[in-house]
Every structure is written in C-alpha cells, then in structure tokens.
C-alpha cells in the first residue's frame, strides 16, 4: 500500500515538472513590437521584438 502511494506521489511530481519545463521552453513568439506583452518590461522601457 505504501509503495502505491509513493509511486502516485512520484508520478505527480514528475508530471508537474514536465509541464513546467514544457511551458518554460515556449517563450514569446512575435512578429511585431505590439505582439510582446506589455508587462514583460519594467516601467519606462518598451518591449521590442527581436525575432522576425
């Protein structure tokens, strides 16, 4: 019984870490400067698209 619980907990941790890694690898895709999210930069700076 304890082995099943440990297995389930380890699967939950593994899957959640996998999802975090997948989301972190996406990044922001843009074609113009307006595609960048406005909260990406600190106040006083403008986000610029560097991937065309």
Which candidate, 38, 35, 42, 39, places its Cα nearest to that of 50?
35
Phi and psi of 43, rounded to 5°? -60, 140
- Report DSSP state, residue 1: -
* pLDDT at position 37: 76
The answer to whether 36 touches 30, Cβ cutoff 8 Å, is yes
Distances (CA, A) of 32 to 20, 26, 38, 45, 50: 27, 18, 13, 16, 9
Name the pTM for this structure.
0.47
User: Which residues touch 18 (CB under 8 Å, ≥6 apart)?
Assistant: none
- pLDDT class of 39 with cuts at 50, 70, 90: confident
pLDDT tens per residue across span 1-30: 999 999 999 999 999 998 888 776 566 677
């Amino acid at each position: 019984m304890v082995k099943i619980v440990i297995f389930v907990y380890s699967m939950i941790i593994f899957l959640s870490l996998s999802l975090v890694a997948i989301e972190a690898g996406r990044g922001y895709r843009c074609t113009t400067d307006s595609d960048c999210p406005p909260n990406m930069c600190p106040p006083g700076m403008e986000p610029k698209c560097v991937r065309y």
